[in-house]
């Protein structure tokens, strides 16, 4: 390159070029700095965003855990409240039942004191379902048993007296009532004997047969009614159960051969046999 004829111009040119180069370098530095700052700002924003998300997630998880704990505590409190209400209701019902039982027991005791035996016996059926103490149960059982025995005693005596006076309807009524309070045992068998005779005298032969059968099964023939089998045979005959009637007549005559009705029993058995022979084809 040749030397210029104008040195100042060359110096100005070089200076201008140097300044331009410096400006370009400075611009490049500024551009890089701006890019760096923008990247730094973006990274800061992302970091802030990530921090915010993580912090929010932590708070959310904490909230969920606390909410779950509070929900469980609330459910337990509700359960305990329901249990307390149930226990209170059970206690209320228990108290009401005890008060009701006490009223019924008091009414039963008053019936026994007043001598209302039948009412007391009927009331005992309900009272014994209540929660009574062992002493109360023993007292009431004794009182009811005594009332029952007194009713049976009275009915038995009145029924026998009526039967001996041939007051058959009254005898049946008294004995039926007495039997409703004592259905089993030796005395019941004796009452069934008189009851069966009274029924037979009134024409209720089928029920008379049932009662006299029960009387014989209970031993009444040995204790109170030696003629019980004769009355049974008679009721069987009148209810047209002829084969069995004849067998019972003969059994009675064989067992009680000295009885005043033994001859009549044999006669009736023979009559039944002849009647059957007369209708039986040869």
Spatial contact of 195 and 152, defined as CB atoms under 8 Å apart: no
Domain annotation covers residue 4: no
Distance CA(197)–CA(231), nearest Å, equals 7
Same domain, 151 and 270: yes
Same domain, 269 and 169: yes
How many domains does the chain contain in total?
Answer: 2
Question: Mean pLDDT for each consecutive 10-residue tract of the chain (282 residues)?
Answer: 66 82 81 80 76 81 83 90 88 77 80 77 81 85 89 94 96 96 93 97 97 96 91 96 96 94 96 82 43
**Residue 149, exposed/middle/buried by CB under 10 A (0-12, 13-18, 19+)?**
middle
Same domain, 274 and 150: yes
Domain annotation covers residue 254: yes
CATH number, residue 253: 1.25.40.10
Same domain, 259 and 168: yes
Taking residue 123's Cβ as centre, other Cβ atoms within 10 Å add up to: 21
Site of tokens 């009275």: 154
Cα dihedral: 133, 135, 138, 143 (round 10): -110
Q: What is the pLDDT of residue 281?
A: 42
Q: What is the pLDDT of residue 282?
A: 44
Same domain, 174 and 275: yes
Domain annotation covers residue 27: yes
- Residue 32's domain comprises 20-63
Same domain, 178 and 270: yes
Number of H helices, E strands in the chain: 10, 0
Domain annotation covers residue 10: no
Q: Is the pTM of this model over 0.85?
A: no
Domain annotation covers residue 73: no
Domain annotation covers residue 203: yes
Same domain, 274 and 149: yes
Same domain, 42 and 149: no
Same domain, 154 and 259: yes
Domain annotation covers residue 84: no
The angle formed by the CA atoms of residues 126, 132 and 137, to the nearest 5 degrees, is 80
| 108 CA to centre of own chain | 25
Spatial contact of 235 and 210, defined as CB atoms under 8 Å apart: no
Spatial contact of 187 and 153, defined as CB atoms under 8 Å apart: no
Spatial contact of 226 and 259, defined as CB atoms under 8 Å apart: yes
Q: What is the pLDDT of residue 166?
A: 95
Domain annotation covers residue 181: yes
Same domain, 50 and 154: no
Spatial contact of 220 and 192, defined as CB atoms under 8 Å apart: yes
């Amino acid at each position: 390159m040749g030397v210029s004829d104008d040195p100042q111009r060359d110096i100005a040119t070089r200076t201008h070029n140097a300044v331009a180069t410096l400006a370009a370098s400075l611009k490049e530095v500024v551009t890089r700095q701006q890019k760096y700052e923008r990247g730094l700002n973006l990274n800061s924003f992302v970091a802030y965003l990530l921090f915010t998300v993580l912090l929010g997630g932590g708070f959310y998880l904490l909230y969920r855990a606390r909410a779950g704990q509070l929900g469980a505590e609330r459910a337990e409190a509700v359960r305990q409240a329901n249990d307390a209400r149930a226990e209170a209701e059970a206690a209320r019902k228990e108290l009401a039942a005890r008060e009701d039982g006490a009223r019924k027991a008091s009414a039963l005791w008053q019936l026994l004191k007043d001598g209302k035996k039948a009412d007391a016996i009927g009331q005992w059926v309900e009272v014994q379902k209540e929660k009574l103490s062992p002493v109360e149960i023993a007292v009431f059982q004794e009182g009811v048993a005594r009332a029952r025995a007194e009713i049976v005693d009275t009915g038995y005596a009145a029924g026998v007296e009526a039967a001996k006076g041939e007051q058959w309807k009254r005898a049946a009524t008294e004995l039926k009532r007495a039997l409703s309070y004592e259905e089993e045992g030796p005395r019941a068998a004796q009452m069934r004997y008189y009851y069966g005779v009274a029924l037979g005298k009134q024409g209720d032969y089928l029920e008379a047969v049932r009662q006299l059968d029960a009387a014989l099964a209970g031993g009444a023939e040995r204790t109170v009614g030696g003629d019980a089998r004769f009355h049974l045979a008679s009721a069987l005959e009148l209810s047209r159960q002829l084969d069995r009637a004849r067998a019972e007549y003969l059994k009675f005559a064989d067992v009680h051969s000295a009885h005043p009705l033994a001859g009549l029993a044999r006669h009736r058995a023979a009559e039944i046999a002849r009647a059957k022979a007369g209708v039986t084809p040869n």
